[in-house]
Each structure stands twice: as C-alpha cells, then as structure tokens.
Amino acid sequence: MDPAVPSTGDDAGRREESARSTARRRGRRAVSGSTREVYVSRLQAEHLYKVFGRRPDEAVGRLENGSGRDELRAEGATAAVIDASFSVEPGQIFVVMGLSGSGKSTLLRMLNGLLEPTAGRVLFDGRDLTALGARGLREVRASRISMVFQHFALFPHRSVLENAAYGLAVQGVARAERERRATEALELAGLAGWEQSWPDELSGGMQQRVGLARALATDADLLLMDESFSALDPLIRRDMQDQLLELQKRLKKTIVFITHDLNEAMRLGDRIAVMRDGRIVQLGTAEDILLRPADDYVASFIQDVDRSRVLTASAVMAEPRSGDADGCGCETVAPGTLVADVCAVSARVPHPVAVRDASGDVVGVVPQSRLVGFLGDERAEPVPCDAPARRLPAQQAQQAQQGVRAGA
C-alpha cells in the first residue's frame, strides 16, 4: 500500500475480511491481528491430475493445453483425473458422484496418499500431504484419516471386536483402551452385543457396520468412504444411509463419500461433485444441481431423481403477499421442509402454504401451481396464467393437480 495514502478503520476491516474470505476459498491461513483467528478448510484439492501409463508429466501439460482423453489413450496414457479442485469444510459430507470410469475412486485415493498425484496437491488442515514422505503419510492415515471400502475387508480369524479395534492396534494403543474404544464404536454403529461374534456370522449390512465402527474407533477427523454401501441390498443400503446421517448429527465428522447413485448423493451430501471422464463437471448443493444442471450430461442424470425428497420449501416458495396466512391458524412449514411434506400440507389447507422462519415470520408462500411447476420441470419457473402459448392443456393441468394431492 502507498504510505502516502492513509488507511481508515473501515479500509483495514474490509482488507482483513477479504483476506479471510480468500483464505476460505483457497484453504489457506488468514490470521487476524487482534484475535489471530485461523480459517482453514479441513480438506482441499488443488488442480489434481492422475495419469497412468507413458510419460504422465508430459500428458498433464498436453491436457492443460486442450488435448483430450482419447488422444492420450491412443498414445498409451490414461488420464484418470483431470484438474480436480474443491474444498471440504469441517463437519461436511462431500459426495463425489459419477459413473464407472469417471475417476471418482482414483480421486479419493489421492486424498490420503494411496495414489500419488501426477500434478496438483492435497491440503489437510492446511498441511500439504503431497509433500510428505511415506512415513509421514502412514502417520496421518493411522491417526487422522480413516477409509471405509465397498468390500468389508474384515479379518475372518478375528472377532467383531478385534476387527473394530484393528486400526487402534496398528497405532500401538494398549489392549484395554482399544477394546473400550472399539466397543463404543460398535455401539454407535448399532452392533452392541455382537462384539464376540465372527464376521461370517453377520449379514452384509452388519459387516459394513463393522467397517464403519473400525473407522470411528480411531476418532479420525476425516472419513473417506468409497462406494461403501453399493454392495448392499436396497433396504439395507437405506438403513446404512440413515445410520450415517444419524452418526453425523452426533459426531460432526468430515466425510468424503463416493457413489455412482445420484439419489444416494442427493440424500447424503451437503455438497456434491459430479464427475465425467476424469473431470468435475458440476459442484454444488443437491438443490443447485437439481434446479441448475450445468449441462445436458448432468440434466440426464437428474431426470429420475425424486425431486420432492430433495427440494425444500425455500427453493420453491414465492414472495408472500400482504395477509398471506396471517392469523388464519392453518398449518405452515419451515424453509427446510421437504417438498414432499409441503405437498401433504397443501392438500389440507385452502390457500397457498405459508413458510415461516424460526422467528415465526412468514418469509414465503407455496401455491399448488408452484409445486406443480417445480415437480414437473426442475429447470423452469411455473408458467403464469397469462401465458397461453405455453399453458398446459386443461387435462394435463387437472392431472398435475391431482398428482400433487395424491403425492400428499
């Protein structure tokens, strides 16, 4: 700064806030002169590339200059991950979703050093993991980062308790302490009373709970979950999702979760990265992706998603008008209420459903026509009545209204 230009308190405050904002975006430290607050993302990936095969470093340069995956493959190089960047805040569930071959599992294995990036770096609590040697990575993986795989990887000759305590044994924790912590983790995972059983006595869902308990027992700050529920039957899978969400409410872990199932991603993720051909093509919340798909590829994915179980009242509400639902005594909903539940309320009240915030103020209303519009086309606002060129035929409109009531 030019010393001839005086600095006001407001200027200094703006610069400090700007530094903190930049730090949050970049995952780097910003220290306040008075309070020395530190803002660091729990996990940050910066321009990660992973190329297998011939001349990987040269391949990265070519990708940066616009070469495609197919060109490299023809020359014996496979670009598994291309320029992936994102950050994960403490306590978030960050979901990476993509089809087989999209690069999502390769990306996950770079986050804890199981695979070395060809280019880019991974920051964990501000520490560059890609700069660590083998010993440093082992120490981090042993105490700070745990992984839950799709296949349970339980030792058949060890009891459930011994399997859950295995990570602690690797750390050198005394037997009494590791058994105590493993027992607590098994209880959290819903397996109290099964400590002395053998893995082959458990169902698939129960075996996966042992894997989850093993990760929880180490009290790691970061959990990496690679298609952890994909091998389970649908009902068991749903139970495991419920279990994970319940545990997250209590433990507030930072989780990176890999899946090929968009419904699972929408249900679990605070934020979601959609991958295709090694690249992240969209990054946002479930509502962002449903309402504003980045391209036709993402739009094709969301066609079969049950929007009523993802979108909330705040996403579909309109501005309240004077007198809307004031003092009428009818049911209202909160901004975070799922649209499926808003539909149920809409069928019971004679006017648009009022949306009230925590203070009880009406912050929006949801007319039935708006529910029809958002559930019928997630990318468009409901068509107003004075737009005859785009109006639904009467029969369709009637069926749509009936659908809303039936959905209640």
Joined tokens for residue 226? 């690679």
**Which long-range CB contacts under 8 A does 100-104 form with residues at least 24 apart?**
100/260, 101/277, 102/275, 102/276, 102/277, 102/278, 103/50, 103/275, 103/277, 103/278, 103/279, 104/258, 104/260, 104/275
Question: pLDDT at position 379, please?
Answer: 47
Q: What is the pLDDT of residues 362-384, one digit of tens each?
A: 899 998 888 887 776 544 454 45
Q: What is the pLDDT of residues 124-156, one digit of tens each?
A: 999 999 999 999 998 898 889 998 887 767 899
* Antiparallel, parallel or unpaired: β 279-284 and 271-276: antiparallel
Torsion angle (degrees, nearest 10) of CA 258, 260, 262, 267? -40
220: which residues sit within 8 A by CB, 6+ positions away? 143, 144, 145, 146, 253
Question: pLDDT at position 149, please?
Answer: 80
* CATH topology (fold) of 308-407: CBS-domain (3.10.580)
Question: pLDDT at position 52, please?
Answer: 96
Of the chain, the end-to-end C-alpha distance in Å amounts to 61
> What are the sequence ranges of the domains in the chain?
308-407
Residue ranges in the chain whose pLDDT is less than 70: 1-39, 152, 322-327, 376-408
Question: pLDDT at position 116, please?
Answer: 95
